Amino acid sequence: MLFGQANRLSNLSQFLSISVTLVTGIVLIYLAILLGGGNPGAAATALVSGSLSGSYSQAETLIRACPLLLAGLGLAVAFRAGVWNIGAEGQIYMGALAVTALASQLGSLPALFAVPLAFFVAFISGGFWAFIAAFLRTRRGVQEVISTIMLNFLAIQIVSAAVHGPLREPTGQFPYSDTIGTSLILARLVPPTRFHTGVILAMVIALVVWVMLFRTLWGFKVRTVGNSPEAATHSGISIERTIWGAMFVSGGLSGLAGAIELMGVTHILFENFSPGYGYTAIAVALLGGLHPVGIVASGLLFGALQAGASAMQRDAGISEVIVLVVQGIIIFSVALQTARALRKKAALKARAEAEV
Amino acid sequence: MTGFEDFLAGAVRLSAPIILAALGEVIVQRSGVINIGIEGTMLAGAFFGFLVAFQTGNPMLGVFASLGAGVAIGIIFALLTVIQKANQIVVGTGLNIAMLGLTGVLLRGIFEADANLGIQPIGVWNWPILSSFPVLGKAFFSQSALVYVSGAIAIGIWIFLRSRYGLGLRACGSNPEAADAAGVKVDAIRFGAVVFGAALAGLAGAYLSLVQTNTFSENMTSGRGFIALAVVIFGRWSPIGVVAASLIFGIANQAQFWMQARGSSLDFLGITAQVPYQFFLALPYLITLFVLAFFSGKYRGPAAIGKPYVRSS
């Protein structure tokens, strides 16, 4: 009874503080647009029409949500294990690179084999890239925050070298790869929009991640290591192996995000292939409460924001990087919520102990 | 030897912004806080320094704007993490993302496009006699005033950490409970440390846009803030160590430019290898990873690092 009330109360206050942060965010962005010499009204119209009105805009929202929620799911797995994987960006690049590198071999297979094989290769590639940071953390004591960021820069340079060198398109004129084979291209379901099968797959993967995190022993281990490493050690869970596994899956999901973006949207690999999806995914994972259902919702929200921001840049002349300011504000507000909730929990615990 | 002298002078120039940012972070981390938002703070410092220098035509005013931007961001970070006890890694990440966006929007809004607008950069200041010393004269005595300032700050921090006040700050980082019991105001000291560190990160940004170049471009820090974080570890949280580690990075980075300029084909024992230029661009990050892998290990820095201090009573 009491618990129910407390829960409802905390839900209400959480709702209130999220609203306050959102309103503050909107006011700040309004000011930033004015300062930048733009017209906020036109910007807002472009933002909404670019993300929600008409099937083309709606499809744009969905295809942009796809890599965000996949990478966001991956980050949630790492964050839940207590590992601050900031490296989704690099893992996305490595996933897309692996598929592009094998595109000529895979492309000659029928789609039934080529597509799953491509996903597998991308998962391994992204997973391996994240595993480097996990290994460096458990064996060499390297903070993963720094190592994953360094690995991002490395991955971006590797892709750049690849598309300027061995993977350059056959005429050798432009620094991008050849178009991947038709059997690797994910079908577009509602032409002429760019809505592709990868979006549906991403939703299925969200369900799989939910099962893995909350219905398997592996998920229990991951969450225990993240919540309380001491408790994990006491109950005989290997922290090292759990962190390795969580990071491999985390990077694997981002690798998959890269593969699906390549196979569903761009069909070629190039420099700046990802417009910061891996960093946006941090905000997606945190806003989604590190829970697959929440991440699907926040992934859709950010997909809409990005689709709308592109329209805003085109129609209202406001740089789409403004979305990054929104992301930052959301990250701050989620960090504040979490801290407040933790303090409330600690205070309740202290009171309970005092009463005993 | 002039080629070698120029090489060393260039290495010092490249290490200066990393020295400034890393020195600030030494104070922050010694007080028990980790601010990974210094990348974004540097970027904001570079932008606002350039903006003010461009509008007023006075690069020294730009330097103060960079400092001001750093202080403002430091106050935000400290309010969120030290006072509200929010997760430092999460807030730092948010800061980096938000500053990349803010500087990008303002750059395109105020200067129309990625303008190639230049300002008069802050010039070098030659020390009489000393600057004409062979080998090291040019590297250490023919630099911009900001380089001398960073040297002075390094010495100042070295003395400070050994003083009574420095002891209090270090206690906040190694054992905040004991510091609190001894009457040290842990949160106040951490707040001050964060603001000081962010101010230096802002100054590091000023070095990038007002000394090293004379313009601002989007994401111009390109990871230098993170390299500074690695340098803090490599330098073992000591100001002298940090300066030495940054200089090593500066030399490696200068070598990278030098090799890039020599061309991408390397002749070694009769074998000619084509090295893509991306290899040289990736080198600083690769070196950082290797340095971290081999120097993180045993000594993990201040014990209470990253943990908000909450009184248990």
Asked which of A152-156, A239-243, B125-129 is least confident by mean pLDDT, the reply is B125-129
Residues A206-234: pLDDT tens digits? Answer: 999 999 999 999 999 999 999 988 999 99
% of chain B surpassing 70 pLDDT: 91
Q: pLDDT band at A4, cuts 50/70/90?
A: very low
Q: Cβ of A328 and B97 within 8 Å?
A: yes
Q: Which single residue is written with the structure tokens 């510091």?
A: B179
Which residues of A are less than 8 Å from B109 in CB distance? Answer: 32-33, 35-38, 318-319
For range A259-267, the mean pLDDT: 96
Cβ pair B279:A161 closer than 8 A: yes
Mean pLDDT, rounded, for A168-182: 87
Would you call B216 helix, strand, or coil by DSSP? coil
Planar angle of CA A134, A135, A139, nearest 5 degrees: 120
Give the pLDDT score at A9.
46
Test A36 with B108 for CB contact under 8 angstroms: yes
Cα-based torsion angle of the residue sequence A221, A222, A226, A228 in order, rounded to the nearest 10 degrees = 0
The pLDDT of residue A3 is: 40
For the four alpha carbons of B186, B188, B189 and B190, in that order, the dihedral sign comes to: positive
Residue in A160, A165, A324 nearest the CB of B101: A324
CB B17 within 8 A of CB B253: no
Is the pLDDT at B53 greater than 80? The verdict is yes
| Res A5 pLDDT > 50 | no
Q: Does B83 touch chain A (CB under 8 A)?
A: no
B310 part of contact set with chain A, CB < 8 Å: yes
Measured CA to CA, the distance from residue B70 to residue B45 in angstroms comes to 6
Burial class (CB in 10 A: 0-12, 13-18, 19+), B139: buried
Contact of B97 with chain A, judged by CB distance below 8 Å, is answered with: yes
Judged by CB atoms closer than 8 Å, whether chains meet at B293 and A157 is answered as no
Strand (E) positions, chain B?
124-126, 142-144, 265-268, 271-274
Give, for B60, the enclosing helix (H) or strand (E).
helix B59-78
Chain A residue with CA closest to B86: the answer is A339
Ranked by mean pLDDT, the top range of A43-57, A325-339, B34-48, B134-148 is B34-48
Distance of residue A5 Cα from the nearest chain B Cα, in angstroms: 25
pLDDT above 80 (res B82): yes
Q: Say what the pTM is.
A: 0.88
Cβ neighbours around B150 below 10 Å, total: 26
pLDDT in tens, A95-113: 999 999 999 888 888 989 9
- The most distant pair of C-alpha atoms in chain A lies apart, rounded to whole Å, by 78
User: Are the beta carbons of B241 and B252 closer than 8 angstroms?
Assistant: no
In B, minimum Cα distance to A323 occurs at B101
What value does the mean pLDDT of chain A take?
A: 88
Q: Which residues of chain A lie closer than 8 angstroms to B86, CB-CB?
A: 332, 335-336, 338-339
For residue A82, give the chain B residue with the closest CA.
B89
B288 to chain A, any CB pair closer than 8 A? The answer is yes
By the CB < 8 Å criterion, does B38 face chain A?
Answer: no
B93, B100, B102, B288, best to mutate vs chain A, most A CBs in 10 Å: B93
What per-residue confidence (pLDDT) applies to B30? Answer: 96
The residues near B9 (Cβ < 8 Å, ≥ 6 apart) are B138, B139, B142, B143
Q: Is B26 helix (H, G, I), strand (E, B) or coil?
A: helix
pLDDT for A21 beyond 70: no
Lowest mean pLDDT among A124-138, A273-287, B190-204: A273-287
The more confident residue out of A309 and A202 is: A202
Place of tokens 């592009």: A100
Is A148 a residue whose pLDDT tops 90? yes
The ipTM value here is 0.87
Q: In the structure, what pLDDT confidence band is assigned to residue B270 with cuts at 50, 70 and 90?
A: low
Confidence of residue B224 (pLDDT cuts 50, 70, 90): very high
Longest Cα–Cα distance in chain B: 72
Cα separations in angstroms, B138 against A37, B4, B11, B124: 45, 10, 11, 10
Task: Look at residue B11 and tell me whether its pLDDT is greater than 90.
Answer: no
Best of B295, B296, B310 to disrupt the A interface (most A CBs within 10 Å) is B296
| CB spacing of A150 vs B223 below 8 angstroms | yes
Q: How much of chain B is helix, strand and coil, in % rounded to 5?
A: 70, 5, 25
Q: Each residue of A47-83: pLDDT tens digit?
A: 888 888 888 899 999 999 999 999 999 999 999 999 9
* Mutate: best of A24, A149, A270, partner B, most B CBs <10 A: A149
- Give the residue-averaged pLDDT of A7-18: 56
Q: How far, CA to CA in Å, does B30 sit from each of B34, B70, B169?
A: 9, 19, 7
| Angle between helix B59-78 and B38-56 (nearest 10) | 150
CA distance A213 to chain B (A): 22
